[in-house]
Structure 1
Amino acid sequence: MITRFLFTAVLAIMAFTVNAQVIGKTFPDMEAETVEDKKVKLPQDVKGKYTLLGLAYSKKSEDELNSWFQPVFEKFIQKTSGLLANFSYDVNVYFVPMFTGVNAAATGTAKRKALKNIDPQLLPYVLFYKGELKPYKEALDFEKKDIPYFFVLDANGKIVYATSGKYTADKMDKIENVMDEE
């Protein structure tokens, strides 16, 4: 029992250390595309307000990335009216499946599948990256290919918070807290 607790504590500390290594760094330049082939340059095109980015570079991590779609949509994208309108966030949000190496050829197929399978309200928030993975793995310190990675950027493109894995309410609370602090 104690061994299991210590193992869990060590994993939590390691996860914090990995995330802490990217905090304060500027998000590396990335050019991605919408399903309509419109180019978006990160972080250049999102400067001026907070941005939540979710990155995935394997099929399994993409499945976990999808677990974030609905909660993020409800919290940051969906426009509210009435009394709750003053409590909405003005942030950029992008989910970015990354196609690298031999998988880069599948980008067009993935865009067509997204058009068919993703709620049209979410489509503008999905970007497709095709290119090298190594610069992002090094800069963003993500080594586990089977989980998605999330980064909160400040208005200048600096990473102010990072987390990874499947959606949980606790992770969402931490993201909100970071955005509320500024």
Structure 2
Amino acid sequence: MFSLKNTFAFILLTCLLVGGAAFKAGTPKFPTLTATTLSGKPVTLPKQTEGKFAVLGIAYSIKAQDDLNTWYQPIYSQVMENKFIPAQVYFIPMTGNIKGMSQDKIKSKMKEGMDSEWHKYVLVYQQDPDNYIKELNMTEKEKPYIFVLNPRGEIVYQTSGEFTEKKMESIIDKLSE
């Protein structure tokens, strides 16, 4: 009936299929998120970035936003100005949980505080961020989170906290694969 050769082939095929499924399950797709740029354009992720790599920076507290600001210049100079890395970049302040200030006032302050050239790269998410916090495992409110998406919208790299050269090297490595 079954020879040793057939049994080995069956086991190998099973391992490949199960291993492939496990690998697929280990590459989560970025959840659908719709927000508006500071210039007023609605953007839906990851649909907007399909076919290209993307770097997304997310913050959902004032402290995290301050740390996210440390990423702007390095990402601009090493990703956005690099014609060999065709990646889209968005910074996403999630302001829905900020109390004591209207969403319009928050958005207005953001616009005033940055060069208008950046407005198309800043997506303001004004709803409650709790679902994204949970789904993206963004457990530390005081830190920003940086995600690299592949052209299929799958998260291939995630880090958190202030900018460091080591983190940036990891991002560039993922974008260069």
What is the TM-score with the length of structure 2 in the denominator? Answer: 0.80
Q: Hey, what does 2:64 align to over in structure 1? A: 61
Determine if the alignment matches structure 1 residue 24 to structure 2 residue 33: no
Q: Hey, what does 1:150 align to over in structure 2? A: 146
> Unaligned 5+ residue runs, structure 2?
1-24
CA contact (8 A) 1:50 1:91 kept: yes
Give the one of 29, 45, 50 matched to 1:47. Answer: 50
Larger Rg belongs to: 2
CA contact (8 A) 2:33 2:46 kept: yes
Deviation at 1:120, TM superposition (A): 2.5
CA contact (8 A) 1:52 1:150 kept: yes
Residue 27 and residue 104 in structure 1: after superposition, are their counterparts in 2 closer, same or farther (change >3 A)? farther
Q: Which has the higher helix share?
A: 1
In structure 2, the residue corresponding to 1:101 is in which secondary structure? Answer: coil
Deviation at 1:132, TM superposition (A): 2.2
- How high is the sequence identity, in percent, across the aligned residues? 35
Residue 155 and residue 132 in structure 1: after superposition, are their counterparts in 2 closer, same or farther (change >3 A)? same
Between 117-126 and 157-166, report the one with greater CA deviation: 117-126
> Unaligned 5+ residue runs, structure 1?
1-21, 80-84
Give the one of 97, 106, 111 matched to 1:110. Answer: 106
What is the TM-score with the length of structure 1 in the denominator? Answer: 0.78
Q: 1:1-182 maps to which residues of 2 (within 5 A)? A: 24-78=27-81, 88-101=84-97, 103=99, 106-181=102-177
Read off the aligned partner of 2:171 and give its amino acid letter: I
Number of residue pairs the alignment of both structures matches: 153
